Structure 1
């Protein structure tokens, strides 16, 4: 497996991804929330801008900012005609007026929802409707309720299907999107349940694998199942785990190889690296407890405390259970990390090392961590 690669900033990593895509069609990235996935997608997009004309660029992207192209008009005065307004200035909607987007989006949307929509290209807005059953017996009938406000989740899946329709147009060679060289997708649907995660990932992969397409794609996510489905579908993709470099600053890309990726294993490796570097923060207790909960569930235990080694002076594991309960439920932000007190660092080290010794995780995981630390 190739050695992990380090980058001082996300701009350097974005350029590295562009260089890799000269010879690859797909890149998959897994990273936790807060690491910088969305900022990386923005850096990648910015590198494709024409320095002499900022309106010219080469990347069609989907990330948290894509949703900002749609805003609700809640009709506060009449409370009757609610609609989703579209940013007419964005190049994202270049083909909206002439390409019959309604008919392109609807078959995609029907996979996931039961509402309908209508795009008004004169006023640049989307109206939603839903059929509902009313009455009983002989009086039962179905009526359409217009101008409804769909839920946040339904709005997100609509925007996603809108994006997929544009990707399909790009793959088909539509003139309105002939500027697209790269597609960058960051966490398309962050709150998918498992069934929809599989469906969205499978559909996306099969769409992108069009044989005669020259389109290059980067997909980043924190959703483990979504990543693993894409991992199996896009077999020739370069697949990476993206993390912050706790010791030296910057960022690290580690190739996951040909083995499917598992969130708890990557998290455990990250905790081991943090412990070795001495840079332990309060949110690391949250991560350790989450790993123990998954391990306990796998082994058929009811509580994570069953994964804590018992000691003669603490036969019921009361001390460490209380420590993990207390320090994994505080308001400890990943975005503003607080370093642990020295006493808590000692507790953390002891719990972590005894956990690793007790369960047969592949020791090569921690050899890799040691090697990375020495290289730093």
Structure 2
């Protein structure tokens, strides 16, 4: 295998583009790898790579050069290989990429790298449970066009995704997730590999069950997402049917949701991901969804995937310190919600995340240090409000609007914060967020 590793690097470039980044605590454990394998003879202006290095060493050097942003990726498959190595030292990867960049192809390539053909049976092994556009294709409707009475969502029973459903009592596992997000219910017909839906409706003061309903496309996506979450829970609980799962890959689960509901899905996903030993990748084109995940998942690798249209190569940019993704973008969402008076209780959760990160940046131990302390002694009240209202089980189906009094408190805290920390007001006026300059 060939690697894009330079055999010679100018001394100035080596020191500024490689050693400087390797001095960062995040990468310092790789520094010896380069000092052992790149040498600069006395009076030379170049560092030279040692000869006859093993493939393992070359692969490691290539990985680290990509890790620090020195090397680009020639193909999506190279990024998938890189992610598999990266997940040896990281637990979570959160990836942002615009539509058309190759997010879904990346999830497929990652999954394919974990498949091996068993010669005796012709079957393939797998190590990745994934959610992407292809997952939705495992479900399709039989609308009973002749009689228009029995509408069934059929399952592709040949897929490993549906391993041992009946024994696992999937209804009882899916319902807690679904009822968090929607107002319809379902039954699984295991022998027919199908699902029927129903809804309880209040008619003339009496609750009646309406059977064989055709749910909307958005509701269908929510149901499939909840089905997936139930399987993720089985993976976390180490169910035997899913003991093959080493990685979970989630690609854009919020395509049918509006911004008011994105926060609920992102927060819930972050809760499920924490506290288990499964490696997880989540990719999205949705800035708010990406930001919430980055704020709620500790120590995730946070990346921005870009494609160079001219060369066809790909770049992975570390967004940990990039305002476009991690501070200003969320503040813009809060300012927009505040100005429009469309404030929901979950906005306190976003505000608290911003206050906490600002406090940490400025060396304070608690987010309350970033709440303005005035003559009216509002700070203790505001701190208690943020504490109280930033914790909750936010419903996708029924987001809770703030009461008027809390809206006023929220606006005061936010506006004081924006004034005290002197943000560029143009960022909130022209609809643009500038990325950190290179």
The verdict on a shared fold, with TM-score over 0.5 as the criterion, is yes
Matched, 1:107 2:176: yes
Paired residues, what number? Answer: 277
Q: Which residue is equivalent to 2:110?
A: 44
Q: Is the 8 A contact 1:4 1:255 kept in 2?
A: no
1:7 aligned residue:
73
Provide runs of 4+ in structure 1 moved above 6 Å: 263-266, 361-364
Question: Structure 1: any 5+ residue segments left out of the alignment?
Answer: 267-292, 301-354, 369-376
Which residue of the partner structure matches residue 162 of structure 2? 93
For the 8 Å contact 2:322–2:436, the answer to whether it is kept is no
Corresponding residue for residue 179 of structure 1? 244
- Asked whether the 8 Å contact 1:228–1:261 carries over to 2, the reply is no
Equivalent position of 1:254 in the other structure:
317
For 1:237-276, list aligned pairs within 5 A.
237-259=300-322, 261-262=324-325
Q: Alpha-carbon deviation of 1:4? A: 6.1
CA contact (8 A) 2:324 2:435 kept: no
- Are residues 1:199 and 2:268 paired? no
Q: Deviations over 1:39-64 (max 9, x none)?
A: 00000000000144652110000000
Alignment-derived partner of residue 24 in structure 1? 90
Partner of 2:28: none
Question: How many angstroms apart in 2 are the aligned matches of 1:81 and 1:257?
Answer: 50
Cα distance in 2 for partners of 1:150, 1:230 equals: 29
Native 8 Å contact 1:4 1:254 kept in 2: no
Q: What is the match of residue 69 of structure 1? A: 138
How far the C-alpha of 1:177 sits from its partner, in A, is 0.1
1:43 counterpart SS class: helix
- 1:147 & 1:365 partners in 2: Cα distance? 52
Q: Offset of 1:262 from its aligned partner? A: 3.4
CA distance in 2, matches of 1:263, 1:206: 19
Larger Rg over CA atoms: 2
User: Which residue number corresponds to residue 307 of structure 1?
Assistant: none
Q: Which runs of 5+ in 2 are unaligned?
A: 1-20, 22-67, 340-425
Please say if residues 41 and 184 of structure 1, whose CA atoms lie closer than 8 Å, have aligned partners that are also in contact.
yes
Change (3 A) 1:364 1:132: closer
Q: List per-residue Cα deviations over 1:22-81 (Å, max 9, x = no partner).
A: 011000000111111000000000000014465211000000000010000000010001
- Cα shift at 1:249: 1.4
Deviations 1:154-196 (A, max 9, x none): 0000000000000000000000000000000000121322232
Q: Deviations over 1:355-376 (max 9, x none)?
A: 99x99x999834x2xxxxxxxx
The 8 Å contact of residues 319 and 325 in structure 2, kept in 1 or not, is answered as no
Q: What TM-score results when the alignment is normalised by the length of structure 1?
A: 0.68
5 Å-filtered alignment, 1:326-345, equals none
Q: 1:264 to 1:204 in 2, by over 3 A?
A: closer
Cα root mean square deviation, aligned: 2.8
**Structure with the greater relative contact order (CA < 8 A, sep ≥ 6): 1 or 2?**
1
Identify which of 131, 145, 150 aligns with 2:210.
145
Contact 2:111 2:127 in 1 (8 A): yes
1:82 aligns with 2:151: yes
Looking at structure 1, the residues matched to 266 and 188 of structure 2 have their Cα atoms a distance apart, in angstroms, of 26
For each residue in 1:275-317, what CA deviation from the matched residue of structure 2 results, as whole angstroms up to 9, or x when unmatched? xxxxxxxxxxxxxxxxxx99xx89x9xxxxxxxxxxxxxxxxx
Q: Deviation of residue 132 (structure 1)?
A: 1.4
Where do residues 355-366 of structure 1 align in structure 2 (5 Å cutoff)? 365-366=436-437
Distance of 1:125 and 1:107 partners within structure 2: 20
Q: Distance between the aligned counterparts of 1:201 and 1:364, measured in 2?
A: 23
TM-score, normalization by structure 2: 0.59
